[in-house]
Structure 1
Amino acid sequence: MIVLKSSRENIGQYEKAEAVVLFLCKECADHIRMLGLPEDFYEVVAYQIKTQGYGFTDKGSITSALMKTGSGFTRLIFAGVGAGKECTPNHLRMAAGNAARELQKCKIKQAVAAAPLLTNPKRGHYLKALAEGLLLGSYTFDKYKSKKDTGETGSSNRNEKVNTGVTGAVGENEENILVTVFTAIENADAILNEATSICRAICHARDLANEPGNVITPDVLAAEAVQTAEKYELESEVLTVKEMQERGMGAILAVGAGSVHEPRMIMLKYAKGGDKPFTAFVGKGITFDSGGISIKPSDGMGEMKDDMTGAAAVLGAMETIAALQLPVNLIGIMACAENMPSGSAVRPGDIIRAGNGKTIEVDNTDAEGRLVLADAVWYACRKGATKVIDIATLTGAVSIALGEHMSAVVSNDDALAATIIKAGHRAGEAWWQLPILEEAEEMLASKCADVINNAGRPAGTITGGVFIGQFVDKGTPWAHLDIGGTSTAKKSEGHLPEGCTAFGTATLVELARSF
Structure 2
Amino acid sequence: MTALTLSTAAAAGLRADAIVVGVAKGAEGPVVAPGAEAVDQAYDGKLAVVLETLGASGAEGEVTKLPAPSGFKAPVVVAVGLGAAPEKDEPYAAESLRRAAGAAARALAGSKKAVFALPVADAADAGVVAEGALLGAYSFDAYKENGRNSKNAKNGKAPLAEVALLGGKPRDKAYKAAVERAVAVTEELNRARDLINMPPNDLNPAAFASIAQTAGKEHGLKVQVLDEKALTKGGYGGILGVGAGSAAGPRLVKVSYTHPEASKHLALVGKGITYDSGGISLKPAGHNETMKCDMSGAAAVFAAVVAAARLGLEVNVTAWLALAENMPSGSATRPGDVLRMYSGKTVEVLNTDAEGRLVLADALWAASEENPDAIVDVATLTGAMMLALGSRTFGIMANDDAFRGAIHEAAEEVGEEAWPMPLPEHLRKGMDSPTADIANMGERMGGGLVAGLFLKEFVGEGITWAHLDIAGPAFNEQAPFGYTPKGGTGSAVRTLVRLAELTAAGDLG
Q: TM-score, normalised by structure 2?
A: 0.91
Which residue identity is paired with 1:327?
E
**Residue 101 in 1 paired to residue 106 in 2?**
yes
> Which residue of 2 is the match for residue 510 of structure 1?
498
Residues 227-268 of structure 1, C-alpha deviations (whole Å, 9 max, x = no match): 111111111111112212222111111101111111100001
1:19-98 matched pairs, under 5 angstroms: 19-26=18-25, 29=31, 32=34, 35-37=37-39, 39-43=41-45, 45-48=47-50, 51=53, 55-70=56-71, 74-84=75-85, 87-98=92-103
Residues 168-222 of structure 1, C-alpha deviations (whole Å, 9 max, x = no match): xxxxx98663221111553333322221111110111111111111100100111
Distance 1:322 1:103, change over 3 A: same
Displacement of 1:141: 1.1
Contact 2:398 2:465 in 1 (8 A): yes
Displacement of 1:32: 4.7
Displacement of 1:42: 4.5
**Residue 305 in 1 paired to residue 304 in 2?**
no
Q: Distance in 1 between matches of 2:65 and 2:235?
A: 61
- Partner-residue secondary structure (3-state), 2:225: strand
- Partner-residue secondary structure (3-state), 2:321: strand
Which residue identity is paired with 2:64?
T
**Residue 370 in 1 paired to residue 357 in 2?**
yes
Among 468, 474, 481, the residue aligned to 1:493: 481
Q: Distance in 2 between matches of 1:215 and 1:51?
A: 50
> Which residue of 1 is the match for residue 465 of structure 2?
478
> Which residue of 2 is the match for residue 254 of structure 1?
241
Displacement of 1:444: 1.5
Distance 1:40 1:205, change over 3 A: same
Identity over the aligned pairs, expressed in percent?
A: 38
> Which residue of 2 is the match for residue 180 of structure 1?
164
Q: Distance in 2 between matches of 1:297 and 1:36?
A: 57
Residues 117-147 of structure 1, C-alpha deviations (whole Å, 9 max, x = no match): 31x2xx3222211111111111111111112
Extract structure 1 runs of 4+ deviating beyond 4 A.
30-34, 154-157, 173-176
> Which residue of 2 is the match for residue 111 of structure 1?
114
Displacement of 1:59: 1.3
Displacement of 1:470: 0.3
Distance 1:205 1:69, change over 3 A: same
Q: Distance in 2 between matches of 1:278 and 1:319?
A: 15
Contact 2:24 2:33 in 1 (8 A): no
Q: Distance in 1 between matches of 2:200 and 2:82?
A: 38
> Which residue of 2 is the match for residue 169 of structure 1?
none
**Residue 3 in 1 paired to residue 3 in 2?**
yes
Contact 2:36 2:117 in 1 (8 A): no
Q: Distance in 2 between matches of 1:275 and 1:89?
A: 30
1:202-351 matched pairs, under 5 angstroms: 202-272=189-259, 274-351=261-338
> Which residue of 1 is the match for residue 127 of structure 2?
128
> Which residue of 2 is the match for residue 356 of structure 1?
343
Q: Distance in 2 between matches of 1:252 and 1:512?
A: 27
Unpaired runs of 5+ in structure 2? 504-509
Distance 1:346 1:175, change over 3 A: closer
Deviates more, 1:17-26 or 1:477-486: 17-26
Contact 2:280 2:334 in 1 (8 A): yes
Which residue identity is paired with 2:113?
Q
Distance 1:174 1:242, change over 3 A: closer
Distance 1:362 1:50, change over 3 A: closer
> Which residue of 2 is the match for residue 451 of structure 1?
438
Residues 42-74 of structure 1, C-alpha deviations (whole Å, 9 max, x = no match): 455143366368x43211111111235236762
- Partner-residue secondary structure (3-state), 1:81: strand
Deviates more, 1:332-341 or 1:296-305: 296-305
Which residue identity is paired with 1:8?
T
Which residue identity is paired with 2:251?
R
Q: Distance in 1 between matches of 2:500 and 2:150?
A: 30
> Which residue of 1 is the match for residue 367 of structure 2?
380
Contact 2:396 2:469 in 1 (8 A): yes
Displacement of 1:91: 1.8
Distance 1:33 1:447, change over 3 A: closer
Distance 1:65 1:377, change over 3 A: same
Which residue identity is paired with 2:489?
T
Which residue identity is paired with 1:3?
A
> Which residue of 2 is the match for residue 166 of structure 1?
none
> Which residue of 1 is the match for residue 507 of structure 2?
none
Contact 2:11 2:72 in 1 (8 A): no
Contact 2:22 2:35 in 1 (8 A): no
- The count of aligned residue pairs is 488
Contact 2:12 2:72 in 1 (8 A): no
Deviates more, 1:275-284 or 1:17-26: 17-26
Distance 1:416 1:23, change over 3 A: same
**Residue 394 in 1 paired to residue 381 in 2?**
yes
Contact 2:24 2:32 in 1 (8 A): no
Distance 1:344 1:26, change over 3 A: same
- What value does the CA root-mean-square deviation take over the aligned residues? 2.3
Contact 1:23 1:113 in 2 (8 A): no
Which residue identity is paired with 2:3?
V
Q: Distance in 2 between matches of 1:71 and 1:22?
A: 14
Among 184, 199, 221, the residue aligned to 2:186: 199
Contact 1:56 1:62 in 2 (8 A): no
Contact 1:274 1:329 in 2 (8 A): no
